[in-house]
């Protein structure tokens, strides 16, 4: 399954008050794993930059005036996000209204709300207490966000991709099956591409001697050839 983690920066809080998009960053996930493919663009908003917004992302009107306007990057952007790929966004309503406002200005089709996956809503459902901003979630999940001295669309999308995976239950290695692997061996990777790494020390047994003895006694009641004897060995 393909998903796009997306973030934007703007000149303010409301496109209905004349505020514009100034940066968009996207990260592609395939089966919940980053593929390395990204989309990033600074956008000339053709207006001034309020001091409050500049303090958030550090993008000046002078810097942005050297970059393309939205209508000049819209085709590449829309091709990257596709027609129905889910869009993973933190506080999705905010980014969605700015993207739709820009698309309206260039007379393009709008992004359907059904495509939005709001990580803010996911965080609120998963955790009873906030805060739920990106920095707080990074702290909760031990995600390094030290590069995030200011907001930046691509960097925030990359960080959000990690947060999103944690909100879904954490990053997990794909299942690999191998024959005769000892308890001290870790299998990493999928079928055909797995690698074996040896633990520094084997894991301690989790069963007590009494539990093992009770299980063997139970197996003894199953008849002459229970399948469990294949696993118990000579001591069965």
Q: Is the pLDDT of residue 170 over 50?
A: yes
One domain, residues 91 and 13:
yes
Task: Evaluate whether residue 102 is within a structural domain.
Answer: yes
Asked if residue 155 and residue 76 are part of one domain, the reply reads yes
Using the 3D structure, point to which of 167, 201, 226 is the last residue of a domain: 167
Is there a domain that residue 180 lies in?
no
Which of these, 168, 83, 65, 155, lies nearest to 122 by C-alpha position?
168
Q: Is the pLDDT of residue 100 over 60?
A: yes
Tens digit of pLDDT for each residue in 217-227? 887 888 777 77
Is residue 173 in some structural domain? no
Residue 208 lies in a domain: yes
Residue 78 lies in a domain: yes
Whether 64 is covered by a domain: the verdict is yes
Residue 124: pLDDT band (50, 70, 90) is very high
Do 53 and 148 belong together in one domain? Answer: yes
Judged against a pLDDT cut of 70, whether residue 211 lies above it is answered with yes
Cα 209 from Cα 202, distance rounded (Å): 18
First to last CA, the chain: 46
Domain of 216, in residue numbers: 185-235
Whether residue 177 is contained in a domain is answered as no
**193 and 82 co-located in one domain:** no
Summarised one tens digit per residue, pLDDT across range 172-195 is 544 444 444 444 444 444 444 445
68 with 149, same domain: the answer is yes
Sorted by sequence, the CB contacts under 8 Å of residue 38 that are 6+ apart come out as 25, 26, 27, 28, 154, 157, 158
For 69, how many CA atoms within 13 A lie in the half-sphere containing its CB?
A: 8
> Which of 134, 167, 200 is the endpoint of a domain?
167
Same-domain pairing of 209 and 134: no
Determine what percent of the chain is predicted with pLDDT higher than 90: 64
pLDDT band, residue 196 (cuts 50/70/90): low
Q: Based on the domain organization, do 224 and 122 belong to the same domain?
A: no
- Which two structure tokens, joined as six digits, stand for 142? 């031990």
Active site residues: 151
Same domain membership, residue 117 and residue 220: no
199 and 107 in one domain?
A: no
Total number of domains constituting the chain: 2
């Amino acid at each position: 399954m393909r998903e796009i983690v997306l973030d934007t920066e703007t000149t303010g809080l409301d496109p209905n008050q004349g505020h514009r998009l100034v940066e968009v960053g996207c990260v592609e996930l395939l089966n919940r794993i980053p593929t390395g493919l990204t989309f990033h663009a600074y956008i000339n908003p053709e207006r001034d930059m309020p001091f409050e917004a500049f303090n958030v992302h550090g993008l000046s009107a002078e810097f942005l005036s050297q970059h393309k306007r939205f209508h000049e990057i819209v085709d590449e952007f829309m091709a990257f996000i596709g027609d129905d790929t889910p869009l993973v966004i933190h506080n999705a309503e905010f980014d969605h209204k700015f993207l739709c406002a820009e698309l309206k200005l260039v007379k393009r089709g709008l992004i359907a709300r059904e495509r939005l996956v709001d990580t803010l809503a996911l965080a609120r459902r998963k955790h009873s207490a906030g805060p739920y901003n990106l920095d707080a979630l990074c702290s909760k999940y031990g995600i390094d966000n030290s590069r995030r001295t200011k907001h930046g669309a691509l960097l925030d999308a990359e960080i959000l991709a990690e947060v999103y995976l944690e909100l879904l239950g954490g990053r997990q290695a794909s299942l690999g099956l191998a024959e005769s692997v000892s308890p001290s061996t870790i299998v990493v990777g999928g079928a055909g591409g797995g690698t074996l790494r040896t633990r520094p020390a084997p894991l301690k047994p989790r069963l007590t001697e009494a539990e093992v003895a009770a299980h063997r006694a139970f197996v003894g009641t199953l008849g002459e050839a229970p399948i469990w004897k294949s696993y118990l060995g000579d001591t069965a």
